[in-house]
Amino acid sequence: MALMITDECINCDVCEPECPNEAIFLGPEIYQIDPHKCTECVGHFDEPQCVQVCPVACIPLNPEHLESNETLWQKYRRLTAEAGKS
């Protein structure tokens, strides 16, 4: 499952640099998470780093992008392979 940032976001800027997949970006009003890049930190950390640092707890699972742990691992492997080609 990818994560999402809700409208409770206060744009504090602490989540974006914590994302190992560079999935977090500043949208028109608040930070957003690209579900195609979010692995919930699978392959990097035991817990999603953005959730750990968020002071307002506005980063839940995205119900529109439900993924199994194996799918998250596959995404991690794809993203790291693409990064290696750059």
pLDDT digits (tens, 9 = 90+) for 25-37: 999 999 999 999 9
Q: The domain spanning residue 67 has which CATH number? A: 3.30.70.20
CA distances from 19 to 1, 6, 7, 79 (A): 15, 17, 19, 13
Any domain includes 33? yes
Residue 45 is part of which domain span?
Answer: 16-85
Any domain includes 45? yes
Any domain includes 8? no
Q: How many domains is the chain partitioned into structurally?
A: 1
Any domain includes 30? yes
**pLDDT confidence band for 83 (50 / 70 / 90):** confident
> Does the structure show a pLDDT above 80 at 77?
yes
What pLDDT, on a 0 to 100 scale, did the predictor assign at position 86?
64
Any domain includes 2? no
